[in-house]
């Protein structure tokens, strides 16, 4: 079985925790896009792990993980991350492999990334990790792949700081190199989990362009960045939070008004710990945007949704979610491509009753309070996609499955079992 996990919003949805949770039944985990700009937080037995380039399945001692062809790799940051894992008792050696088609981020790319964004008329709010430059070099066909490290003519093009940098990491990188397409074929009868980075609304083609990431964060990217065909993706799940967040610039129609909703924004941000894992920046917060979520379900062929951070609402009397936009007096129910329209959109909100009790002890859907179930069922009806997994806390075990993605069929037409 091949199961894909993507973010269904603007990133930071809790993908790392869900990949870690589902990886228990997988033999291999493939990270198929992004680079050190991603930040996945996992909490196991009270201990927190922050991962950026290494796939979340690394915490299971018998799993192999792959950094895919769609990734851009910063060797310096990668080996720093691996060293931290080792210091925390995670034996990674012999279990972490890199696609020979993955591209490499050179030291100067970080500076170039920040300078380019600062000169834009409409800055993106980049993490400054050199991601955009690396993907740009790739698109211009001037990039450096792992496969090129033992190509003498290619390596002769690099001098000075770049040569010193590459010489320091070349042998270690080559020792981890694999033909990922061949590996995927070799393991075709195993359970493989494909881990996306960022979120669907940051995809370079279907996201809120130009305020997007530079690579594919859509479900189709799992095939492109992993060396398998799209027909071999058996189940696609989209992770979303019970509310909305975004880091960096760009439209966010349901963002809380800091004047009239500042207290609510601060409550959500503080209770949900909404600060970037990679940058530490406070995340922009807002109401759950069901218009955007339904769009993400449709363009990514989501078989199921994974709801996280539902427990953040435990102490609230009522909650609200966006079911349409008011754009210039017109009611809009489909997510528009036009940035100006999105910037002027006013959310039309629907109220839901709160539950005023802790969800963290709930081990099944049936144990959730009635109002929490009503909220989930409205989301399912609105998006036409079942909520297959629910997370009610940050710990690995504070999660329950309604429809197991490792069991066939994984079909969105089927209602999940309670």
Asked if residues 297 and 8 have their Cβ atoms less than 8 Å apart, the reply is yes
Q: Which one from 28, 40, 52, 103 is the annotated catalytic residue? A: 40
Q: Is 40 part of the annotated catalytic residue set?
A: yes
Spatial distance between the Cα atoms of 179 and 181, rounded to a whole number of angstroms = 6
Cα first-last separation, the chain? 23
Token pair belonging to 176: 């981890």
Q: Is 289 part of the annotated catalytic residue set?
A: no
Q: At what angle do helices 131-139 and 108-119 cross, to 10 degrees?
A: 90
DSSP state letter for 334: S
Which one, of 348, 175, 161, lies nearest residue 253 by Cα?
A: 348
Spatial distance between the Cα atoms of 320 and 286, rounded to a whole number of angstroms = 10
DSSP state letter for 24: G
Q: Where are the alpha helices (DSSP H) in 304-403?
A: 339-344, 370-383
Spatial distance between the Cα atoms of 325 and 341, rounded to a whole number of angstroms = 10
Three-class HEC string of 174-188? HHCEECHHHHHHHCC
Spatial distance between the Cα atoms of 51 and 317, rounded to a whole number of angstroms = 35
Indicate the burial class of 186 (C-beta count within 10 angstroms; 0-12, 13-18, 19 or more): exposed
Asked if residues 30 and 192 have their Cβ atoms less than 8 Å apart, the reply is yes
Q: Which one from 12, 113, 148, 303 is the annotated catalytic residue? A: 12
Spatial distance between the Cα atoms of 381 and 164, rounded to a whole number of angstroms = 56
Spatial distance between the Cα atoms of 405 and 397, rounded to a whole number of angstroms = 17
Asked if residues 177 and 146 have their Cβ atoms less than 8 Å apart, the reply is yes
Report, as residue numbers or ranges, the catalytic residues. 12, 40
């Amino acid at each position: 079985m091949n199961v894909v996990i993507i973010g269904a919003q603007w990133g930071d949805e809790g993908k790392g925790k869900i990949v870690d949770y589902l990886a228990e039944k997988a033999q291999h985990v493939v990270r198929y896009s992004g680079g050190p700009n991603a930040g996945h937080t996992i909490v196991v037995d009270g201990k927190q792990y922050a991962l950026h380039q290494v796939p979340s399945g690394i915490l299971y001692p018998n799993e192999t993980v792959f950094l895919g062809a769609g990734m851009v790799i910063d060797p310096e940051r990668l080996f720093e991350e691996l060293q931290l894992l080792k210091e925390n008792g995670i034996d990674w050696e012999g279990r972490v492999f890199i696609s020979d088609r993955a591209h490499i981020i050179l030291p100067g790319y970080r500076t170039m990334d920040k300078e380019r964004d600062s000169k834009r008329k409409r800055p993106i709010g980049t993490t400054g990790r050199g991601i955009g430059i690396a993907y740009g070099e790739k698109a211009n066909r001037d990039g450096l792949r792992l496969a090129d490290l033992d190509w003498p003519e290619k390596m002769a093009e690099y001098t000075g700081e770049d040569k010193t940098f590459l010489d320091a990491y070349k042998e270690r990188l080559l020792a981890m190199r694999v033909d990922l397409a061949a590996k995927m074929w070799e393991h075709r009868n195993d359970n493989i989990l494909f881990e996306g980075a960022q979120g669907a609304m940051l995809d370079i083609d279907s996201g809120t362009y130009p305020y997007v990431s530079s690579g594919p964060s859509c479900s189709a990217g799992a095939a492109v960045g992993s060396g398998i065909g799209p027909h071999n993706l058996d189940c696609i799940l989209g992770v979303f939070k019970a509310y909305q967040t975004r880091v960096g610039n760009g439209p966010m129609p349901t963002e809380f008004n800091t004047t009239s909703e500042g207290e609510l924004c601060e409550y959500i941000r503080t209770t949900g710990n909404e600060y970037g894992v990679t940058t530490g920046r406070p995340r922009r917060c807002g109401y759950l945007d069901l218009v955007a979520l339904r769009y993400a379900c449709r363009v990514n062929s989501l078989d199921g949704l994974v709801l996280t951070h539902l427990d953040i609402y435990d102490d609230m009397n009522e909650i609200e979610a966006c079911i349409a936009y008011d754009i210039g007096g017109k009611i809009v129910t489909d997510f528009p491509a036009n940035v100006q329209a999105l910037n002027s959109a006013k959310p039309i909100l629907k109220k839901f009753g709160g539950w005023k009790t802790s969800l963290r002890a709930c081990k099944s859907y049936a144990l959730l309070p009635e109002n929490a179930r009503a909220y989930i069922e409205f989301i399912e009806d609105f998006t036409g996609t079942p909520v297959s997994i629910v997370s009610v806390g940050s710990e690995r075990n504070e999660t329950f499955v309604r429809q197991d993605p490792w069991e066939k069929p994984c079909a969105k037409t089927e209602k999940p079992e309670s």
